[in-house]
Amino acid sequence: MGYTRKRRPRLVKPPSDAALRAEFSDEIAVAWLAGLIEGEGCFSYGVSPGIRVGMTDRDVVDRVSAILGRNHVRGPYRYRANKKPVFYTEVWGADAIAWMRRLLPHMGERRSKKIGTILERWVAAPGKHHALGTGRATECHPEETHYADGKCRSCYRKKRWACGLPR
């Protein structure tokens, strides 16, 4: 009788990121993202509103980027020779506002207050840096697109020029 070799158990290939994303519902992904941003991210408003996540784990930053629909990761950045490299992903403008509204119920008190401040500032400046003011009629030329201060772009620039300000 001959020797029969024992078969090794087959290794199961781990699921891809696409399979993992499909496995979890959107609400679970949003809650996971909120928890991660609570600890590793920030909400800001410079020229436009933004959400930024930075950490040393590239795979986690890749997953955040995929959930945000961004699929872009910056880095690695080495801030000190003896420290791990840091990776960043971020989303800006109307996309950031949409995500802030989605994340708001899951955030803690301090972050919720920050998001509220950003949302108020976004609504208070229609048409200047984002699409919220498009479609709003202007005082000077109702057929033109709103630019700022209730005026079309040319009238707004003329007003600034008359006041001695740069256009």
Q: Which domain holds residue 75?
A: 17-124
Give yes or no: residues 37 and 115 share one domain: yes
Q: What is the pTM of this model?
A: 0.63
7 located within any domain: no
Question: Is 143 part of any domain?
Answer: yes
Q: Predicted confidence band at 11 (pLDDT cuts at 50, 70, 90)?
A: very low
Q: Residue 27: which pLDDT band, with cuts at 50, 70 and 90?
A: confident
Please state, in angstroms and rounded to a whole number, the distance separating the CA atoms of residues 104 and 18.
Answer: 26
**Average pLDDT of span 79-91:** 88
Query: 88 and 136 share a domain?
Result: no
Quote the tokens at residue 14: 């781990």
Do residues 95 and 134 share a domain? Answer: no
pLDDT in tens, 101-112: 999 999 999 999
* CATH number of the CATH domain containing 45: 3.10.28.10
**One domain for residues 31 and 112:** yes
What's residue 136's pLDDT? 65
In a domain, 55, yes or no: yes
Shared domain check, 108 and 29: yes
If asked whether residues 32 and 110 sit together in one domain, one would say yes
For residue 56, tell me if it sits in a domain.
yes
Residues 34 and 109 in one domain: yes
Q: Residue 108 CB: number of other CB atoms within 10 A? A: 10
Higher per-residue confidence, 3 vs 150: 150
Of residues 10 and 67, the one with the higher pLDDT is: 67
11 domain-assigned: no
Task: Please indicate, yes or no, whether residues 92 and 150 belong to a single structural domain of this protein.
Answer: no
For residue 115, how far is the Cα from the chain centroid? 12
Q: Structural domain tally of the chain? A: 2
Among residues of the chain, what percentage have pLDDT more than 90? Answer: 36
Task: Name which residue leads in pLDDT, 10 or 26.
Answer: 26
String of DSSP letters for 20-61: HHHHS-HHHHHHHHHHHHHHHEEEEESSSEEEEEEES-HHHH
* Greater pLDDT, 100 or 82: 100
CA atoms within 13 A on the CB side of 57: 6
**Listed ranges 86-95, 139-148, 155-164; the one with the highest mean pLDDT:** 86-95
40 and 112 co-located in one domain = yes
